[in-house]
Amino acid sequence: MNYVRTGMLLAAMTALFMGIGFMIGGQAGMLIALLIAGGMNIFSYWKSDRMVLAMHHAQEVDERQAPELYGMVRAMAARAELPMPKVYVINNPQPNAFATGRNPENAAVAATTGLLDTLSKEEVAGVMAHELAHVKNRDTLIMTITATIAGAISMLANFAFFFGGSRNNPLGFLGTILMMILAPMAAALVQMAISRTREYAADRMGAQICGNPLWLASALHKIAGGAARVVNEDAEHNPATAHMFIINPLSGQNMDNLFSTHPNTDNRISALREMAAAGGFSETRNSGNDHFGVRDTQAPRDDTRRPSGPWGASRRPSGSDRTRRDKQRKPRGPWG
Q: Residue 274's closest CA among 213, 325, 316?
A: 213
| Phi and psi torsions of 109, nearest 5° | -120, 140
| 274 is a catalytic site residue | no
- Bridge partners of residue 87, in order along the sequence: 61, 109
The answer to the question of whether 130 is labelled as a binding residue is: yes
Q: Tell me, what DSSP letter sits at residue 57?
A: T
Closest CA to 112 of 135, 128, 129, 132: 128
Which position among 63, 68, 122, 131 bears the catalytic label?
A: 131
Q: Give the single-character DSSP code of 95.
A: -
In DSSP terms, which residues pair with 100 in a beta bridge?
108
- 199 has binding-site annotation: yes
Q: Which residues, other chains included, contact 148 with Cβ-Cβ below 8 Å and sequence gap of 6+? A: 37, 40, 41, 44
Is 122 annotated among the ligand-binding residues? no
Q: Specify the DSSP element, H or E, that contains 287.
A: none
Neighbours of 21 (CB within 10 A): 26
Query: Annotated binding residues for Zn(2+), as ranges?
Result: 130, 134, 199
Catalytic residues: 131
Query: Annotated binding residues, as ranges?
Result: 130, 134, 199
